[in-house]
Structure 1
Amino acid sequence: MRKASLKSGSLLHGRRAMLQGTALCLVSAALLRFSSAGVSQAAEQSAPADYAYQPVFFSHEEWLTVSSFVDRLIPADAEGPGALDSHVPEFIDRQMNLPYGHGSEWYLRPPYVKTSSALGYQFLFTPRDIYKQGLSALNNATKQRYRRPFHQLDADQRDSVIALMEKGNITLSPVPAKLLFSQILKNCKEGYFSDPIHGGNYKMGAWKMIGYPGARADFMDWVDRYGERYPLPPVSVGGYVTQGGV
């Protein structure tokens, strides 16, 4: 994106266009619910030098693929931090080891009857399945098309592949491209706006960008002051004003 990295007209027309409609509902849900030569230059340079998180669920190549994918969904720019700055891949990795990743709240039991997607999720894949099988299929597809795995593509090539996935115009198997795209996009936005206690939203950078007060006990005196920026820094569920200690 670099303002709008995906060329597809249906997804994003800039950072704020994507984030504005989802920010408050995502942060509220987050409060309640719960490197390699191959990686791109952006993925290598965006993480702090002392960032030492090691993925538990993702393999090394899966980690690089997820990191290079979310880097294109929310890249760093003048408006605020990117997905890598915000440790979104860490958030996703942690989620995959929680009941959510195992699809514990999804109905995945028989009998299996083919029906309309209008009735809800119609696949048997858990989030863990979507990532494990989908990322492998994605890398196989880009190796056929570009002779390189996804994380070794340049930014424009990754944007092109992501746009094709959004529209379902690239074939992945067994996880459909649109399903993998929507899963990563959903988790990327959740991690970007989550409480830092869950691993994402490093130093509450996304909250600061939109002026969200976080888990402050009381800010009722500001609810009617429309258009005014809240003057105090956000606070995480753990009571921290900065990431240190989270």
Structure 2
Amino acid sequence: MFFSQEQFAVANAAAERIYPQDDNGPGAKALGVAFFIDHQLAGEWGFNGREYMSPPFYVGEKTQGYQGRLRRRELFEIGLKEIDNYSQTKFSKGFAELAAEQQDEVLKAFESDEVKLTTISASGFFRTLRSATLEGAYSDPLYGGNIDMNGWKMRNYPGNQMSYVSVIDKEFTKIAPSSLQEHMATH
């Protein structure tokens, strides 16, 4: 919806290194995290639709997050391109083609601001990417990530139940997750 094929490949590979598949369950690729991020960037979140975006812009405190004129979609366009550029410079390959250890090295360089960018903060972009990755792993599948509710299943999270009346007076009950998609389809 928003990403080019190249941007999607970088986002998909980076998200998988941030949230890798392991013995606990699927990683970001299997959960569709890059699709979630793509859909979010195509919508209000990507346009910073409900945020004040007029100057003057001051350097914010770390707790305030990004304070600038660029929209999230522009941050991702720049950030993903810079991840690929840094990978090309350091390893002579695009980020998606690197070995997992090399991808980790690139992401850590961004996280620690070892990479000096002129347009955006490398660590600020990494934090935004990491946050979006976690949101994609645990959001309702309605939004494109958390495929088959597998992120929720790993956490024993029941999702969006319409009611707990049948189990409220019982001891702890494990409930199969339910998505908003399921409720929308039945109503």
TM-score by length of 1: 0.69
Distance 2:39 2:118 in 1: 25
The aligned residue for residue 110 of structure 1 is 55
Q: Equivalent residue of 1:200, what SS?
A: coil
Partner of residue 235 from structure 1, selected from 168, 178, 183 = 178
The aligned residue for residue 155 of structure 1 is 100
Distance 1:165 1:103 in 2: 23
Residue 120 of structure 2 aligns to which amino acid in structure 1? Answer: V
Q: Equivalent residue of 1:239, what SS?
A: helix
Residue 233 of structure 1 aligns to which amino acid in structure 2? Answer: A
Evaluate the alpha carbon distance shift between residue 219 and residue 164 of structure 1 in structure 2; reply closer, same or farther with a 3 A threshold: same
**1:177 offset after TM fit, Å?**
0.9
Residue 177 of structure 2 aligns to which amino acid in structure 1? Answer: P
Say if 1:102 and 1:127, in contact at 8 Å, map to a contact too.
yes
The aligned residue for residue 142 of structure 1 is 87
Say if 1:196 and 1:203, in contact at 8 Å, map to a contact too.
yes
Structure 1: gaps of 5 or more residues: 1-55
Say if 2:86 and 2:106, in contact at 8 Å, map to a contact too.
no
Structure with greater proportional helix content: 2
Task: State the superposition RMSD in angstroms.
Answer: 2.2
What is the correspondence of 1:45-60 to structure 2 with a 5 Å cutoff? 56-60=1-5
The aligned residue for residue 214 of structure 1 is 159
The aligned residue for residue 17 of structure 2 is 72
**1:119 offset after TM fit, Å?**
7.0
What is the correspondence of 1:1-246 to structure 2 with a 5 Å cutoff? 56-112=1-57, 114-118=58-62, 120=64, 121-219=66-164, 221=167, 225=171, 228=172, 230-239=173-182
Evaluate the alpha carbon distance shift between residue 119 and residue 233 of structure 1 in structure 2; reply closer, same or farther with a 3 A threshold: closer
Count matched residues: 183
Q: Equivalent residue of 1:84, what SS?
A: helix
Say if 1:134 and 1:172, in contact at 8 Å, map to a contact too.
no
Identity of aligned residues (%): 29
Residue 235 of structure 1 aligns to which amino acid in structure 2? Answer: S
**1:182 offset after TM fit, Å?**
0.8
Structure 2: gaps of 5 or more residues: none
Q: Deviations for 1:110-141, whole angstroms, at most 9, x for unmatched residues?
A: 233x3442572322221101111111122112
Distance 1:234 1:62 in 2: 31
Distance 1:222 1:159 in 2: 44
